[in-house]
Amino acid sequence: MQISSGVTVNQKNFSNFTRSGWSRLRHSFDWPLALTWLGLNLFGILAMAGGEVQTTFWHKQLIFIGIGLVVMILFALFDYRIFKNYSTPVVIFYGITLLLISTSLISGSIRGIRAWISLGALRLEPSELAKLAIVILLAKYFSQKHVEIYRIYHIIVSGIYVALPAGLILLQPDLGSAAVAIIIWLGMLLAAGIKRRHLLVVIAIGMLLVVVAWFYFLAPYQKGRIVSFINPYLDPKGEGYSIIQSRIAIGSGGWRGTGWGQGGQARFGFLPEAHTDFAFAALAEQFGWIGSSTLLGLVFYLLWRVGKIGFSAGNNFAKLFTIGLMIFVFSHVLINAGMNLGVLPITGIPFPFISYGGSFLLSTAIGLGLVQSIYRRTQ
């Protein structure tokens, strides 16, 4: 009887503890941020289910969203100040992403790119986690060195931190993700207070490296993509085909769109990669300018919410981390929308929340979970 009574008491205590823990989380959670994230992902599911030929993609994406939601909650419970106050966890996370990228380089290639690690039926793209690791590492470094950020030494050291994963990503080769890593670095340098003349020197060196890369490092197909976006009709059945079909899809959507599931370019296979690279064009075809504007409005609201939480925290790490996360997401929006519209080269960068895939969704779920952690410890 005593044993039975003890078990009953322990069960009650555990139940009360779980209930009180969930209640604390529920009342200290930024619901506008979480619901916007969920709404964007469900908007992507809607567009994917109506625009793709293979229905399995959106089924799998629903699973990714469920996993992402759990991950966001777990990192909301995690105390972000561990990253803020201690270097070891930051370095470990950064080192793990470098190891994962290195592992992907010796894994099997998909369409000539070695960017994924196969996990049974799923594939992990480590470069997406590496971008988040760069944001956390730079937020930690710049928050410690912000008084001395004017020194060239700190610009060089932070550049090396970014160059290591970016260089490995280029070996895959994934030019788009490497470019995003550099954009994150430049944006966070600017936010940290770099001198204007130093920033101009960094940009000039970057432009010089682009020229060197064009002549000595870029593969012919990469050069073809860059040339084709300038005039896709130079090779309308080759490198320019995707851009032409994307423009047709967006143009046929007009103001109100062709209707859910009525996008002919995506449904009949004229638009390549309608569930990944050109998910934005597939959405614009179905829902038109109104749907595209709604999507972008939700994305910008989410980014504004992230920034508001970061700047309310009262410490440099939180501010710099949220700025870096905003740059991470916005650069994906800008590059993907630009290539769908035909004003930027095709790079394979996904559009946040609507392109199929779990790696980007996982990395942003971790990032937004940390933002929730900041919010919970600022109230």
In tens digits, the chain (379 residues) has pLDDT values of: 444 444 455 555 545 545 555 666 666 789 999 999 999 999 888 888 776 655 678 888 899 999 999 999 999 999 999 999 999 999 999 999 999 999 988 877 777 678 888 777 778 899 999 999 999 999 999 998 876 777 888 888 999 999 999 999 988 888 889 999 999 999 999 888 887 777 788 888 888 877 877 777 777 766 776 777 777 777 777 778 888 888 988 888 888 888 887 777 777 778 888 888 888 998 999 999 999 999 999 999 999 999 999 999 989 999 999 999 999 999 999 999 999 988 888 888 999 999 988 899 999 999 999 999 999 988 6
Residue 56, CA atoms < 13 Å, CB-side half-sphere: 2
Burial state string for 132-149 with b = 16 or more CB within 10 A and e = fewer than 16: bbbbbbbbbbbbebbeeb
| Domain annotation covers residue 199 | yes
Q: Residue 315's beta-bridge partner residues?
A: none
User: 369 lies in a domain?
Assistant: yes
129 lies in some domain: yes
Tell me, yes or no, whether 6 lies in a domain: no
DSSP symbol at 53:
S
Residues 6+ apart with CB under 8 A from 242: 271, 272, 273, 277, 278, 346
* Cα distance between residue 14 and residue 7, in whole Å: 10
Which pTM was predicted?
0.89
Asked whether 178 and 169 are in contact (CB, 8 A), the reply is yes
Is residue 10 assigned to a domain? no
Residue 51 lies in a domain: yes
In a domain, 368, yes or no: yes
Whether 22 maps to a domain, the answer reads no
User: How many folded domains does the chain comprise?
Assistant: 1
For residue 172, the enclosing domain spans 30-376
